Amino acid sequence: MEDVEMDVASPEVMLTFYNRIYPFQSIFNWLNQGHTPTKRFTHREFAFTLQNDVYLRYNSFATYEDLKKQVCQYNPSRFEIGPVYSLRPRDRKTARPGAMVPLERELVFDIDMTDYDSIRTCCSGADICKRCWGFIAAAVHVIDDAIRKQFGYNHLLWVYSGRRGIHLWISDKEALELTDDQRKAIVGWLTVVRAEKSEMAKKTEIHTPLKELPPLLKTALEHLKYTFNDLILEDQDPFSSDEGFEHLLRLITDSGLAARLRDQRKAGSTSKELWLIILKATEGTRILQAMREDIIFHYTYPRLDAEVSKHRNHLLKAPFCVHPKTGRVCVPIDPIQVDDFDPAEVPTVNQLMKEINTANTSTESSSLPDWHKTALRPYIDMLDKHVQGIMDDAKRSKGTDLSW
Amino acid sequence: MFNARDRRSFKTEDAGDSKPESQKLNFYDRPPRHDVTLEEFEICALNRLRILAEIESSLARNRSWEEMKTQTTQQCKNYLPLDTEEDRKQDHVSHYVLRLAFCRSEDLRRRFIKAEGILFRTRFDEVLKADREQLLDSQRLHWLKVEETEKQNHRNELYSLYPPIKPEDVRNTSFNRDTYYKVRWTRVPDLIEKRKVFLSGGWAYVPGREQSSIIFQEFEDRLARALELTARSLPRLDEDSRLVPILDNLSNGFVAGVSSEWSSSTEGKNGEITAEMVDHHARNDFPMCMRTLHEQLRKDHHLKHFGRLQYGLFLKVLGLPIEESIVFWRKSFDRITDDKFNKEYKYNIRHSFGLEGKRANYPAKSCQQILSPGPSEHGCPYRHYSPENLQTALLANYSSQGLTSADLPEVVALVKSGHFHVACTRVFEITHASCGIKKGDGVGGFESVTHPNQYAARSIELRKGDIKKEGT
Ligand SMILES: [Zn+2]
């Protein structure tokens, strides 16, 4: 089942990676939204997790060169990005108590495969494969569409978390300035299925009886119906196991239908066959139709890790970091191509090392930065293009922002 | 104005908009621009504080919205009218003064926001439709009217979220008549969180019928944010030593429920009370603070300096003349010699009547002063007693006047939420039920207790009426 191979990097390899490959300048441009350093960069918190697991918070830097210098000195296993504070985080000890407050922060979302454990059959825990990536892909479609159309934001960066999940960073001006309450509201708007810490107790009930589905969920359902068929019924086939079947029965609110399903289920009944029984039985009555739609949501709707999004001062791993367990780089993902994304094809840091070594022994032009010669190049180009869009926007509305 | 450096915090979105004083309803999103004298500063703040304190005690007493509105409107006519531009300037200034006084603790901020929110709602209900529209149309609020064609484009989505009204054709008509507005979603996070509105491109589409509740919410949210900003910049303000005592006084006033100088109105009743009558009145008419002092005096045959001063001034204002006072204290201190009394105490009694020394006519202490921590150990029992001791004391002092243990939880709950003057008022109501006082009446005219002398005088008045009724 395990498709994403482990390819852990040594500290020496990590150091070379930071020194020669990591795109510090692109990350700076992305956070700073301009070429000259502003508070968006200088007052920004960075946190480092060192190789020995020591965690260092409240670092801040004047330039991306400073950041690079510090990273190469610490050689951390990964680092995280926090909010823009009212003062330089590294000066916090000399500040008046209460003077350091978070002012801005990209709106972030985190979707993690572990929240799908009770409904996926191909892998469990930290593992992920091309098949269960389908859950993530479905989530990306729903969230990307809602954020762009409903909330009107344009600058979305989706980033593979290096192992079993995906992050979303939104850099629109309004999104940066959201208060914690507003972040909580947007999470509430998007949350339908609660992340399952205690799955047994939780059911998905989206329809309040006799009320219509809110417009946003109607739109999502159109897409998720197909996901449900392809991913759940055809691929994952969760109802064919006893455990998966009991999980389904918990969502069947009609006791007659539940009894019929138990009755008609034989050894070897597939999810598809069972779903046909449900389809037939729920035709015609609105309440049962609503229940059926709730089941589709339960198995396919994005499961968000709400806590990550709610607070401005939450830290999230920087794009292009290396996942310490898999050795894979946290690369950006184009949401349009998310269905074709295969976690197993993401470059590992060891692989990148080989590439720059080969390139250096060949006679190719050495004036280009090292990353140009690696499999990371298309991903860094993707970030740079994304940043260009943000900067063009910032220029258009100049005069009002960056001046607080 | 009083803190120019703070102005940044209240920066407005549209400086080209009309002056806030030109309209009756004010979102107070810009600080006043004119100069204010310190005296003006304090007086107009006290007037506003009076209204807010009364709103707060109405809340603690669970008054209905209609009752509260009637009462607040009445009080606004007296203390905080909005008729002239000058009135509206005062309104504006007083709001900002109280912001400074109440931004300084989480609890004060919360209470201030609540009371100001109710004041705003009362006024929103009371002013003319034109005044309301003036506020909503002002560009600073950014309510964009949804044109009919746009409404029709989103008809299905909007209608599916329209409040459920029965029957369906009534709902349909109501929907067709309703005007929609759109606001940035960030202004209505509650509606977003619960998925109650249609959202497109970051604009939330809100039916006109829900507009007012959103406006009220926004008023409170903006105020909450502004208070936090003010709190953060306040340490710089504290450098202005002239302001700090005034601000302290104002926030204490809120805790004590404000603010009436009771002394002036009752001092005319000189000579009505004799030394012999004090025992009787103490049992029947005194609030717990004074009752406690009286009991202590009887038990110990003595009171220490500050207790003597506090109780003595209270009795003076109650109407015990100087001659009767000397008699009262002489009899009370019955374990000392005449000589000692004359030497050590008589002077102080005469002094408190303004007959010695600086010849100042000292006023009796108000609840506000008794509540603030000072050199005296004779504070407000509602504030300073433990809940257990308070309950014992209440039963011991007032059970003969109708207070039972069933009343205790209510009083203790008020105390626990910090509404000491309301707790005292409630005890007054319970112990004067036989005079026809009902819950919510207060010490008369819906007023809550702000001064021990107010409490005692009203009680004496009420019981007199009682005796008359029995006589006829
Ligand atoms: Zn899998």
Write down the ipTM of this complex: 0.89
Q: Give pLDDT, residue A350.
A: 94
Instruction: Kindly give the residue spans of alpha helices, DSSP state H, lying in A191-267.
Output: 215-227, 242-251, 255-264
Q: Which of B157, B190, B202 sits opposite A152 (nearest CB)?
A: B202
Q: Which of B161, B200, B202 sits opposite A174 (nearest CB)?
A: B202
DSSP state of A316: E
- A271-282 helix and A255-264 helix, angle to the nearest 10 degrees: 140
How close does chain A come to B187, measured CA to CA in Å? Answer: 9
DSSP state of B187: G
Q: What is the mean pLDDT of residues A250-277?
A: 92
- Rounded to 5 degrees, φ, ψ at B342 are -60, -40
pLDDT for A308-342, tens place per residue?
999 999 999 999 999 999 999 999 999 999 999 99
How close does chain A come to B221, measured CA to CA in Å? Answer: 11
| Ligand 1 geometric centre to CA of A130 (Å) | 6
Is pLDDT above 80 for B299? yes
Q: Give pLDDT, residue A98.
A: 74
Q: What is the mean pLDDT of residues A45-49?
A: 97
* pLDDT confidence bin for B5, thresholds 50/70/90: very low
Work out the burial of residue B472: count CB atoms within 10 Å of its CB; fewer than 13 is exposed, 13-18 middle, 19 or more buried.
exposed
| Ligand 1 geometric centre to CA of A164 (Å) | 10
Contact B189 A152 (CB under 8 A): no
| Ligand 1 geometric centre to CA of A279 (Å) | 27
How close does chain A come to B211, measured CA to CA in Å? Answer: 19
* pLDDT confidence bin for B9, thresholds 50/70/90: very low
* pLDDT confidence bin for B135, thresholds 50/70/90: confident
Is pLDDT above 90 for B1? no
* pLDDT confidence bin for B217, thresholds 50/70/90: confident
Contact A181 B161 (CB under 8 A): no
Q: Give pLDDT, residue A249.
A: 93
* pLDDT confidence bin for A24, thresholds 50/70/90: very high
How close does chain A come to B116, measured CA to CA in Å? Answer: 21
Tell me which chain A residues have a C-beta less than 8 angstroms from the C-beta of B228: none
Length of chain A: 404
Q: Which of A151, A184, A216 sits opposite B193 (nearest CB)?
A: A184
Q: Give pLDDT, residue B140.
A: 64
Picking from A19-33, A119-133, B224-238, which range would have the lowest pLDDT averaged per residue? B224-238
**Comparing C-alpha atoms, which of A255, A139, A98 is closest to residue B106?**
A98
All structural domains of chain A with their residue ranges: 11-189+305-396, 198-300
Tell me which chain B residues have a C-beta less than 8 angstroms from the C-beta of A211: 164
| A282 or B265: which leads in pLDDT | A282
Tell me which chain B residues have a C-beta less than 8 angstroms from the C-beta of A178: 186
Find, in chain B, the residue whose alpha carbon is nearest to that of A154: B201
Q: Give pLDDT, residue A97.
A: 74
Is pLDDT above 70 for B25? yes
Q: How far apart are CA B87 and CA B83, in angstroms?
A: 6
* Structure-token pair, residue B92: 């504006």
Residue A347: partners with Cβ closer than 8 Å, 6 or more residues away: A328, A329, A331, A374, A375, A376
| B264 or A263: which leads in pLDDT | A263
Q: Would you say B370 and B455 are in contact if contact means Cβ atoms under 8 Å apart? A: no
| Ligand 1 geometric centre to CA of A109 (Å) | 22
Active site residues of A: 45, 110, 112
Q: What is the mean pLDDT of residues B219-244?
A: 78
Is pLDDT above 80 for B40? no
Tell me which chain B residues have a C-beta less than 8 angstroms from the C-beta of A182: 186, 189
The SS3 of residue B322 is: helix
Q: Which of A184, A186, A215 sits opposite B160 (nearest CB)?
A: A215
- Rounded to 5 degrees, φ, ψ at A49 are -105, 110
Most A CBs within 10 Å, among B160, B199, B221, B239, to test the A interface: B199
* pLDDT confidence bin for B16, thresholds 50/70/90: very low
Q: What is the CATH number of domain A11-189+305-396?
A: 3.90.920.10
Q: How far apart are CA A96 and CA A108, in angstroms?
A: 29
| B407 or B59: which leads in pLDDT | B407
* pLDDT confidence bin for B435, thresholds 50/70/90: confident
Residue A286: partners with Cβ closer than 8 Å, 6 or more residues away: A210
* pLDDT confidence bin for A365, thresholds 50/70/90: low
Q: Which of A152, A184, A216 sits opposite B201 (nearest CB)?
A: A152
Contact B195 A174 (CB under 8 A): no
Q: Would you say A299 and A270 are in contact if contact means Cβ atoms under 8 Å apart? A: no
| B143 or A22: which leads in pLDDT | A22
Domain B4-138+218-256 classification at class level: mainly alpha
| B239 or A399: which leads in pLDDT | B239
Query: Which amino acid is present at B472?
Result: T
| Ligand 1 geometric centre to CA of A191 (Å) | 24
- Mean pLDDT of all residues belonging to chain B: 80
* Structure-token pair, residue A379: 């991903």
* pLDDT confidence bin for B7, thresholds 50/70/90: very low
Residue A379: partners with Cβ closer than 8 Å, 6 or more residues away: A320, A329, A331, A332
All structural domains of chain B with their residue ranges: 4-138+218-256, 144-215, 264-471
Residue A151 sits at the chain B interface (C-beta within 8 Å)? yes
Q: Give pLDDT, residue B235.
A: 66
| A49 or B47: which leads in pLDDT | A49
Q: How far apart are CA A28 and CA B348, in angstroms?
A: 76
Q: What proportion of chain B, given as a percentage, has pLDDT over 90?
A: 22
Residue B203 CA, distance from chain mean position: 38
Tell me which chain A residues have a C-beta less than 8 angstroms from the C-beta of B203: 152
* Structure-token pair, residue A140: 């990306």
pLDDT for B315-370, tens place per residue?
988 888 888 888 888 888 877 877 888 878 887 888 777 776 666 677 888 888 88
Picking from A33-37, A379-383, B50-54, B250-254, which range would have the lowest pLDDT averaged per residue? B250-254
pLDDT for A65-76, tens place per residue?
999 999 999 999
pLDDT for B376-390, tens place per residue?
567 888 988 888 888
Number of Cβ atoms within 10 Å of the Cβ of B228: 14
Is pLDDT above 70 for A203? no
Q: Give pLDDT, residue B238.
A: 58
Residue A389 sits at the chain B interface (C-beta within 8 Å)? no
How close does chain A come to B306, measured CA to CA in Å? Answer: 39
Find, in chain A, the residue whose alpha carbon is nearest to that of B154: A215
DSSP state of A109: E
Indicate the pTM of the whole model. Answer: 0.67
| Ligand 1 geometric centre to CA of A344 (Å) | 11
